Amino acid sequence: MRAKIAVSLLAACALAGCGTAASSRPPAPKALTAADVRAPDPGGEVGSASSEFSSAAELAVWSRLSDTQGDPDRLAKLDVNGTAKGALYLEPTTSTWFDAFRGPFVYQELAGDIVLHTRLKVEGRKGGTPRRKFSLGGAMLRVPQSNDKPNWISVTTGTGDKAEGVELKETVDGASKPKEVRVGAGWTELILARTGAVVSALYKEEGGTWKVGQRWLRPDLPKVLEWGVTGYTDWDGYGALKKDAAKANATRTIKGRPDLRMTVDYVRFLRPATPETDLMKAPDDVLIKLLKPAGA
């Protein structure tokens, strides 16, 4: 009888999950909410790299890829507080960023987790929406000296393959994977950020709300990256050069019909308070609060 009682008690205990086995189970991780994160910090050394573009002297802290890499200069015009008051103005010639093709890039080298926040407007040279395919401008991060194995990520706005919108593009070892999202013309705010192993792109139409465009898992990126803005236009102007990136990158002048001008209100760099969690799985509202500057 005692043996039967003991067996019954053991069985009941097993079903109830009592004993050392139950107590050793770790508690389920708490789901991350917007209340658990805070907006990025605009101050410090990273913040000092920001530009409001109120003075032409601010251009001196920015590098041009054509200067640092010896590429052909594909900018017909680049100035600060000149063509557009209180703004950076960029007007590219026929150019592109795709696969191993390199276009204009104005950047600073920064280390660690970064939020790049910019407000800009992309138009055709005579106003309105750019008429040439893949006439886009926006934010970009790039692995330094990655010509042989191009690695970069961009979030841009303008005219893509089909219509005006935002293009989100990751390039790994010279292979680009773009995604297009339809948005209206006009001023657009963009965020490109690195938080640990995750790179994220956010966008907001004028008068709209912030949206998460894309997330990429990139633990391979080095600590120091090139962060800045790009503008390029007129992919069809490349003609036969579309098949030869190396030759295209070395060609001084590509005759086409460029149709893009970009006005950048500001570029602000902030430091995110990156949480120890998987941001690839975090809800959109959590990611937006983590990356969106206070008041933006």
What is the pTM assigned to this prediction? 0.89
114, two tokens: 């970064």
Give 193's pLDDT tier (boundaries 50, 70, 90). very high
* 251-275: pLDDT as tens digits: 999 999 999 999 999 999 999 999 9
Whether residue 57 has pLDDT greater than 90:
yes
Q: Within 13 Å of residue 290, how many CA atoms lie on the same side as its CB?
A: 30
Bridge partner residues of 51 (DSSP): 267
- Distances from the Cα of 96 to the Cα of 38, 118, 236, 248, 280, angstroms: 36, 21, 10, 10, 29
Q: How many CA atoms does the CB half-sphere of 266 hold within 13 Å? A: 14
Whether the pLDDT of residue 11 is over 60: the answer is no
Tell me the pLDDT tens digit for each residue of 151-163.
Answer: 999 999 999 998 7
Work out the average pLDDT over 188-212.
Answer: 97
Q: Which residue has the tokens 């041009």?
A: 64
Question: How many whole angstroms separate alpha carbon 56 and alpha carbon 207?
Answer: 29
Residue 166, strand partner residues = 157, 181
Q: Quick one: pLDDT at residue 6?
A: 41
Q: Residue type at 194?
A: R
Instruction: Give me the residue spans of the domains in the chain.
Output: 37-291
- Per the model's pLDDT, the better-predicted residue between 10 and 199 turns out to be 199
- Asked whether the beta carbons of 71 and 65 are under 8 A apart, the reply is yes
Q: What pLDDT does residue 167 have?
A: 98
Q: What is the mean pLDDT of the chain?
A: 91
Arithmetic mean of pLDDT, 1-14? 42
Nearest CA to 101 out of 65, 125, 67 is that of: 65
pLDDT, position 28: 53
**In the predicted structure, residue 14 carries a pLDDT above the cut 50:** no
What average pLDDT does this structure show over 167-191? Answer: 96
Lowest-confidence range among 7-16, 59-68, 98-107, 285-294?
Answer: 7-16
135-146 average pLDDT score: 97
pLDDT of residue 164: 85
Between the CA of residue 203 and those of 66, 112, 135, 199, 259, what are the distances in Å? 28, 22, 18, 14, 23
Residue 33, amino acid: T
- What's the CATH number of domain 37-291, 3.40.50.300, 2.40.50.140, 1.10.1660.10, 2.60.120.200? 2.60.120.200
- Residue 238 CB coordination number (10 Å): 22
